[in-house]
Amino acid sequence: MLVQIDNTADIQHSTPILSWSDLNYDVKTKQGARRILHDISGNVYNGELVAIMGSSGAGKTTLLNVLAGRVQGGRVYGDIKFHGAKRNPHNFKRMLAFVEQDDLMFPQLTVGETLTVSAELRLPSSKYTKADKLERVESVMRQLRLTHVRDTGIGGHGARGVSGGERKRVSIGTELVTDPSILVLDEPTSGLDSSSAEMVVSLTKDMSRERNLCTLMTIHQPSAEMMKKFDKLILLSQGKLIYMGPMSQAIPYFESIGYPSTNPNPANFFIDLTTIDFSSDKAMQESEQHVQALAESFTKFRESGGLLPKPPFGASSGSIITAGLSSNAVASNYSKSEVNNDITQNEVDLVLLEPPPMNNWMHELWTLLKRDTILVKRNRSFTLGLIAQCLVTIIFLGFVFFQLKHDQASVQNRVGFLFMFTNFCTFPVIFPIITMIMTGRSILMRERSAGVYRMSSYFLAKSLSFFPIGFVPFTFTYIGVYFLSHLQYDAAKFFIGFANMYALIFTSIGFSFALAMFTHDMEVVFIIAPITISNLILFAGNLSNFGAVTPVLRWIKYICMYYYSYSAFMQNEFGGLKFTCDADNAMCYRTGEEVVSSYNLDELPIGLCIVINLCLGIGLYTLAYMLTRWMAKPRYIWI
């Protein structure tokens, strides 16, 4: 069966938008340096849809990452030019849209919300009004056939949501709400059924044409139909360039070097031709030699001027090429092709391209705060879990320590009650917040790499979004246990207790943030967190008496939020209380002050304890901010 690869595009080949020459990429391995990319040169133009193909391990993703300026580690050699000029990382990353293989989006948001937030963050308010941004979102939704799922959740992690193909299109849409110059997609069709995959490629092609956008994508075994959509092919094997040029001329090129197509699907033919056979050492050696010969043929072909079979019907890159055409049929019809033009294009003068200006800080903060608040609100398991924990706390603490009296037993009960309440104010906050921060970190990395917002606005918005979930449920918890346990009914003491609790929750959120940013590994954090917390609780002043603690470790209480908070709760509640003594009880506390003093918790006045706790919190937020900046800093290698 004959299959036609039809490229009817009329691409204006002027200045390549991206050109690269002699790209080599080395990584360090245990066996020494390993070259992943070998002398790759080429260029791409506005309006082109480019497929990067090759078998598994050929180096497709690596090449894509090197071109997109997203490679981490290793050494990159060679030259990459954007519009003929050296790339400015800051500008380039804002003019390049990178759609990663994993669709990193918040499952709790709807399609419409995801695209709107992206438009709000990426389109500068100085140039676009709110109406313009919404219009842009509508237009992207129309172009990507997403209008019907506007109010459907993205889903994922067990939650129902849009289909895989729709999710991929949303992922592309979040990048296309701006006007990038280059769209890069890493395996956008993987995991999709054939019709969804074809739709993604088709729509991408339409967008490239409509917007004069250069689109590069790595793709695994596209169908023959899909192959027709691509303008250009970059074929790799073992990190070597086997072919780069118009898709329409790939088959004639291989025929011209003695490899006529034997497969109705050109993609299968290209992969079969370049796959390394690992079935035996001999087979591997032979196929490696074969790949080396193919790479050398292409180098010679380029060096000799890149003569290709002239496309039939007198067309150029937009010609119709028959995949199974014999080489004899076209051999007499050679001309200089675009393959050669592509690689010998002279660099043009420096073109200064200005990326869109950034949004102002307040706008970023407000948009991120709205998004984070929605995320927190829609995290139902977290909200319900928090409410349940607060109810359980009210019931247990309130009824175990119900209506405390003024005898000696009530001294112990008050001490225990305040200690437990201090702990209860932190546990329900710390662990869920760590989880929420860590699960959103890959999206933070993606948005940071694209320079979508400043770290300070992200950090403040994230922190503020946690305050209501920390403060509101505990406000009710405090009121509940206060009256059930009958702490001292005194307005000043009531509000001082509130202030102390809020300071502790504030510090706990900072503590959670710092822990969540400590490492990328969630499992490590969930080992460190309980150990740290339980050891800090040791220094609260209830389980150990500071007077008897090993002197060299006593300083720990000064960095312990539980110590300040417990000390303030104890002084606040016990201050002014009088207790009755039984005649037969030799150990008897007559005043609350005696109790506090016996626990060594009267070292600092209440006000100072609250202020120090707040300062500790500010210190933890500062540490968390620095860790966030450090963690989220893209460490890409630029050439």
Contacts with ligand ATP by CB under 6 A lie at: 27, 29, 36, 54, 56-62, 73-74
- Nearer to ligand ATP among residue 276 and residue 536 (C-beta): 276
Contact criterion met (CB below 8 Å) for 19 and 340: no
Helix (H) or strand (E) holding 37: strand 32-44
Evaluate the CA torsion angle 101, 102, 106, 110 in order and state its sign.
Answer: positive
- Quote the least distance from Cβ 294 to ligand ATP, whole Å: 16
Q: What is the C-alpha separation between 97 and 411, in angstroms, rounded?
A: 64
User: Any idea what DSSP says for residue 80?
Assistant: E
- Nearer to ligand ATP among residue 320 and residue 637 (C-beta): 637
- Nearer to ligand ATP among residue 61 and residue 591 (C-beta): 61
- Nearer to ligand ATP among residue 73 and residue 547 (C-beta): 73
Contact criterion met (CB below 8 Å) for 339 and 313: no
Residue type (1 letter), 157:
H
- Quote the least distance from Cβ 33 to ligand ATP, whole Å: 10
3-state SS of 525-594 is HHHHHHHHHHHHHCCCCCCCCHHHCCHHHHHHHHHCHHHHHHHHHHHHHHCCCECCCCCCCCCCCCEHHH
- Quote the least distance from Cβ 421 to ligand ATP, whole Å: 51
Neighbouring-strand partners of residue 465: none
Neighbouring-strand partners of residue 53: 235
- Nearer to ligand ATP among residue 42 and residue 54 (C-beta): 54
Q: What is the C-alpha separation between 590 and 255, in angstroms, rounded?
A: 102
CB atoms within 10 A of CB 71: 24
The Cα angle at residue 229 between residues 226 and 230, in degrees rounded to 5 = 105
Q: Which of 160, 161, 167 is nearest to 146 (CA)?
A: 167
- Nearer to ligand ATP among residue 57 and residue 619 (C-beta): 57
- Quote the least distance from Cβ 109 to ligand ATP, whole Å: 28
- Quote the least distance from Cβ 272 to ligand ATP, whole Å: 15
Contact criterion met (CB below 8 Å) for 275 and 366: no
- Nearer to ligand ATP among residue 190 and residue 322 (C-beta): 190
- Nearer to ligand ATP among residue 60 and residue 169 (C-beta): 60
- Quote the least distance from Cβ 201 to ligand ATP, whole Å: 17
- Quote the least distance from Cβ 74 to ligand ATP, whole Å: 6
Contact criterion met (CB below 8 Å) for 256 and 331: yes
- Quote the least distance from Cβ 265 to ligand ATP, whole Å: 18
